[in-house]
Structure 1
Amino acid sequence: MSGFRPDTVSGRLVAWMRATAQGTIPPEIRHEARRLLLNQLKASVGAVDQEAITLLNAWALEEAQGGTGAHVHWLGTNLPPALAAMVNGALYEVLDFHDTYIPCFMHAVSGVLPAVLAQAEAEQKSGHELITALVIGLEVELAVARMLMPTGYYRGMVPAGLTGGVGAAAACAVLAGLNDEQMQHALGIAMCTPAGLYESAGSHTLSLVTAYAARGGINACTLARRGFTAPPTAFEGDQGMFAAHSDEDRAKIEPVLESLGQEWRIPGQTYKVVPTETITHGPVECALEVLGRANGRTIDRFDFKVQEIVVSIVQGRRERFGRPASAQQATFDLCHCVAAAWLRGQFTTAETAEACYTDPAVIALSDRVFLTADPDRPTFEGCTLVATFTDGSTETCNVDFFLGTPGARVPDDKLAALLAQYGADILPEGRAQAITEAIWALDDAPSVAPLIALISKD
């Protein structure tokens, strides 16, 4: 081995990881980590019949060749930890019903949590150890993302594909008790091997990007523990992660590193209460609110004022996909989601199914959803709607922070209710409540095994 380099980005991350693992994480941050765990379970429980998951689970069983150690959630498949993390990463991603860290356009938890859960199960760790590792992994991932974004995203990279493996490696390294040099190598391995292009949106491959991030993170930890090395300058080197994947100013790096532990980032996560991508939530929330005031009037058109990037994304998707031809494409079509929510009076996974995206009424209404860039909108956490009815009357709605953003925090009991709602056809009676109670008590649990048993198939 080449020796620990504390003066590098990876070295400074390791120093913070070590100090945090040995110190005290604020109770509210630990609670937020448990909320994010619950959120990912509600995001995945309704995804077990998705084609991408069926295909990936079958492939993983063949790859495993009888190896075991960790479970695929809800399906119960017993696989080696890296493969279990991979399938679970796709499960978390496929419905686009997970978390979003809006400042970096990313889904931070979906790559980290599957890896650290699989390792915690395989190595029989406690709930407290799991939450500590999860918090550290997420904070490392978000710090790296803050250095790389937004230009990494503008280049076409999936942010979680770039940084999810780094966060997963950090979490797994803490959980495994690696020494500082091994931790630095684990981070370096993950920094040198990220992947994922946003061209994959609307296809099975987008969920595979997260799957690879989760698998890559746990593999990076495993390899570093065995003595595998990586450059200590994997992030800031002339041909390192920063230069290869972003156009940001290097002056960003130091303030981000200095803010670790001073500015906790995971409370800045946005939670989704409907299963569609983040830019769609404000428009769907506005449409459903106006629907409650329609009093039987027939809608003519929707005019939304949104952040400029939303207009660009929606236009780009329409040019690529045309009308949705799959559930994945429907999920990423804002106009479809608004029309479906209005005509169905709700937005659930049923509104991205074939029966809905091929419905002539939904198609016709989606063509009357119009977007205008609003220069005063700093983010896509909000939007303004003017709904015009066929009798010439109008209704307006403005949302500055849709439900689930830090500005409109989703309550704990709402997250629990969503798990129960989406698990209703899958989980035995009372299981959703038992899972929720186990998560809230996880910090005091001597083992993660009881929780794993609850989220694995009977």
Structure 2
Amino acid sequence: MNTDTVADKSVSIADQIGNWIAGMDAARLPTSTVKAARMLLLDVTGLCVAGREESYIRAILASTEPGGRCTAFGHTGGFNAYDAALINGTAAHGEDYDDTFEGGPVHSGAVVVPAVLAVCEREQLGGDALLRGIAAGAELMCRLSLVAPRAIHSAGFHPTAVIGALAAAAGVSAALRLDARTATSALGIAGSMASGIIEYLAEGTSTKRMHAGWAAQAGIRAALLARGGFDGPRTVLEGRHGFFKAFAPSRPPNFEPVLDGLGQSWIMDTIAFKPYACGTMTQPFIDCAIALAERGVKAAQIREIVCDVGEGTVHRLWEDLAVKHRPPTAYAAKFSTPYCMAVGFFDRKAGFEQFTDARIHDPAVLELAAKIRYRIDPDNEYPKNFTGHLRATLADGSVLELRQPHMRGGAREPLSPEALNAKFADNAKYGGWNDPLAHAAQRWFSQAFDAATLEDAAQFRQ
């Protein structure tokens, strides 16, 4: 269905998605999908705790209204659903350590989990609603990201932000058991709430951090408006003035990835969980830099490093190259492949402590970053696969070439449950939780989908 129109005007793309949402049954979800949903819940919550004291979260808190029955993990008191979703979504996405879908790329968990959890607490729903909502929202977000690959970024928008509003609306609609027509309207309404430009790249400012939280609260609002009788366009996706015309005008939309196997196969099962706290496509390059260091190469021996890259990554992760060599802020450093490679080379990791104001000004790291440049590989698989490469020329003229064929943590080499639990424990500790509280949270997550209500989430407001 490579078209921007619908042959049968009586049944739109959103109508078909609405029917799928209305028929969602948590009891019939595959075991692999339940596992993926549980991993999203665990990973997102650990990141919420890790980021709870960051300055941008304090700014978000200053914008909220106190009171409500919804939980913002790691914060005292309750919040209304919109504020809880905004806080949790911003914290989960704030350090770019959250999950990603390699075909998109989009970050599903930081949008969908906060939206669905908040509405479940607001409406006093149980674990089956939480599971339904996470599965519906994450699945739709991954599928929508395949409609027009690279075109949303090319238009200057953030796919997680704009697609996220529709995905959150779908997840909340599923949790609330909205009927098909109402769920379709929720998608239509969310199309007008979608927003998020990528100009944060210019100076490394914080707007990208709030995109997931903003999309989460938009999805809640859209679903509740629809439930109240507000209507939205059924042709929100494929219409002449629809979502993809607005946010991805350079490429004709192909809706086959959205509808093909919808309800029978679950691509959210392949969601990747990051080993490093930085931009998704930089991750395999960090692996290459660490592998170079582990061969015994010293930074002083390196004359230059040239990386083969996908053209679609250049404008976010490589250019302006002079700025990427000396990122102006710790946040900007997360989207500088030269910096990420350099700090990975020295530290053998790229976690929270590698992206601080002090670390990004380390002369040795910056000296190595300045030696790293790129060339476009026309055969690179991006965005279908995220690969890494470096060709290092040493002072003695010798050359070392290293490749990482895929993203670790993704479908080709997933993180184990043990590794993800360790990541959660590290994030909880970084955020100030003691071991008993972290262990209690892990136990709660393992049982959350079976709970009659989610009232026990209130124990994590600290």
TM-score (norm 2): 0.90
- Secondary structure of the 1:424 match is helix
Q: Give the alignment partner of residue 204 of structure 1, picking from 200, 203, 206.
A: 206
| Distance change (3 Å), C-alpha of 1:22 and 1:112 | closer
Match of 1:136 in 2: 136
| CA shift for structure 1 position 309 | 2.7
Match of 2:342 in 1: 339
**Residue 447 of structure 2 is aligned to residue 434 of structure 1:** no
Contact 2:387–2:403 (CA under 8 A) maintained in structure 1: yes
- Pick which of 414-423 and 14-23 moved more: 14-23
Q: Give the alignment partner of residue 378 of structure 1, picking from 373, 376, 381.
A: 381
- Pick which of 304-313 and 286-295 moved more: 304-313
Q: Give the alignment partner of residue 409 of structure 1, picking from 388, 391, 414.
A: 414
Distance 2:372 2:114 in 1: 37
Superposed CA deviations along residues 87-109 of structure 1, whole A, max 9, x for unmatched, are 11111111000111121222122
**Residue 332 of structure 2 is aligned to residue 329 of structure 1:** yes
Match of 1:186 in 2: 186
Contact 2:318–2:337 (CA under 8 A) maintained in structure 1: no
Q: How does 1:215-230 map to 2 (within 5 A)?
A: 215-230=217-232
| Distance change (3 Å), C-alpha of 1:311 and 1:148 | closer
Match of 1:232 in 2: 234
| Distance change (3 Å), C-alpha of 1:404 and 1:454 | farther
Q: Give the alignment partner of residue 364 of structure 1, picking from 363, 367, 382.
A: 367
| Distance change (3 Å), C-alpha of 1:351 and 1:169 | same
**Residue 402 of structure 2 is aligned to residue 397 of structure 1:** yes
Q: How many equivalent residue pairs?
A: 448
Match of 2:85 in 1: 85
Contact 2:310–2:377 (CA under 8 A) maintained in structure 1: yes
Superposed CA deviations along residues 275-302 of structure 1, whole A, max 9, x for unmatched, are 0001110111111122222166744133
Match of 2:352 in 1: 349
Match of 2:31 in 1: 27
Q: Give the alignment partner of residue 21 of structure 2, picking from 17, 20, 42.
A: 17
Letter in 2 for 1:429: D
| Distance change (3 Å), C-alpha of 1:22 and 1:296 | closer
| CA shift for structure 1 position 342 | 1.6
| CA shift for structure 1 position 29 | 0.8
Distance 1:126 1:261 in 2: 22
Please report the RMSD computed on the Cα atoms of aligned residues, expressed in angstroms: 2.3
| Distance change (3 Å), C-alpha of 1:189 and 1:116 | same
Distance 1:433 1:386 in 2: 44
Letter in 1 for 2:249: D
Distance 2:281 2:415 in 1: 17
Q: Give the alignment partner of residue 429 of structure 2, picking from 424, 432, 445.
A: 424
Distance 2:36 2:415 in 1: 12
- Secondary structure of the 1:188 match is helix
- Secondary structure of the 1:68 match is strand
| Distance change (3 Å), C-alpha of 1:22 and 1:406 | closer
Match of 2:311 in 1: 308
**Residue 56 of structure 2 is aligned to residue 52 of structure 1:** yes
Match of 1:167 in 2: 167
- Secondary structure of the 2:75 match is coil
Distance 1:315 1:86 in 2: 30
Match of 1:71 in 2: 71
- Secondary structure of the 1:20 match is coil
| Distance change (3 Å), C-alpha of 1:427 and 1:299 | farther
Distance 1:95 1:383 in 2: 21
| Distance change (3 Å), C-alpha of 1:250 and 1:398 | closer
Superposed CA deviations along residues 355-399 of structure 1, whole A, max 9, x for unmatched, are 111111111111011222223321252122233444545443221
- Pick which of 165-174 and 69-78 moved more: 69-78
Identity of aligned residues (%): 25
Distance 1:143 1:295 in 2: 42
Letter in 2 for 1:53: I
Distance 2:237 2:280 in 1: 29
Q: Give the alignment partner of residue 294 of structure 1, picking from 293, 296, 314.
A: 296
| Distance change (3 Å), C-alpha of 1:11 and 1:320 | farther
**Residue 455 of structure 2 is aligned to residue 444 of structure 1:** no
| CA shift for structure 1 position 146 | 2.4
Q: Which has the higher helix share?
A: 1
Distance 1:231 1:290 in 2: 53
Match of 2:41 in 1: 37
Distance 1:74 1:274 in 2: 22
For structure 2, the residue ranges without an aligned partner over 5 or more in a row are: 1-8
| CA shift for structure 1 position 349 | 1.2
Contact 1:143–1:260 (CA under 8 A) maintained in structure 2: no
Q: How does 1:145-156 map to 2 (within 5 A)?
A: 145-156=145-156
Distance 2:144 2:404 in 1: 30
- Secondary structure of the 2:49 match is helix
Match of 1:284 in 2: 286
- Pick which of 29-38 and 310-319 moved more: 310-319
TM-score (norm 1): 0.91
For structure 1, the residue ranges without an aligned partner over 5 or more in a row are: none
- Secondary structure of the 2:99 match is coil
- Secondary structure of the 1:271 match is coil
Superposed CA deviations along residues 238-270 of structure 1, whole A, max 9, x for unmatched, are 212132222376672256323312331202322
